[in-house]
Amino acid sequence: LQFTEEKLGQAEKTELDAHFENLLARADCTKNWTEKILRQTEVLLQPNPSARVEEFLYEKLDRKVPSRVTNGELLAQYMTEAANDFGPGTPYGKTLIKVGETQRRLGAAEREFIHSASINFLTPLRNFLEGDWRTISKERRILQNRRLDLDACKARLKKAKAAEAKAAVT
């Protein structure tokens, strides 16, 4: 009732401290930017949306995500197979072996980067959103309910005093 009357402009609302309001605004801003950065980093690390959904499901089911071959490693595999098919002694075969080995190392570095970024960057962001932010939201709801209770009590007190004053006059 108090919430509805406040929204309709019929009830008085106790304002929170300006510093506290600033902190709440900063917390909201932090949450929004953290979500955006987390999502975009996930897109950067895994551009394939269906693979991201699969990884998300494995994570939620507490299962180990199966290891994927990176595009660089797959290219290296194809180059090595082609070099063996052409013959490792031919100039083209030798070149494919060298380039394939370099692609394999690049693919392994990419895999290590994805793993490292996931553990060292994405995990703290997720921990904030799933832990700290939930706590902040819960405490904010509790504070809002307490404020509404306080305002409702103030309104009842004001009505009681008005009724007393009216009774005293008559």
What domains sit in the chain, N to C, each tagged with a CATH number? Answer: 1-168 (1.20.1270.60)
37 — alpha (psi -120 to 50), left (phi > 0) or beta?
A: alpha
User: Residue 117: which of 32, 37, 36, 45 has the closest Cα?
Assistant: 45
How many angstroms separate the CA atoms of 91 and 72, rounded? 22
**For the purposes of burial, counting CB atoms within 10 Å of the CB of 114, is it exposed (0-12), middle (13-18) or buried (19 or more)?**
middle
pLDDT under 70: residue ranges of the chain: 1-3, 6-11
Q: What is the pLDDT of residue 7?
A: 65
HEC string of 92-150 equals HHHHHHHHHHHHHHHHHHHHHHHHHHHHHHHHHHHHHHHHHHHHHHHHHHHHHHHHHHH
pLDDT of residue 44: 93
Single-letter residue type at 55: E
pLDDT, residue 127, reads 95
pLDDT of residue 159: 87
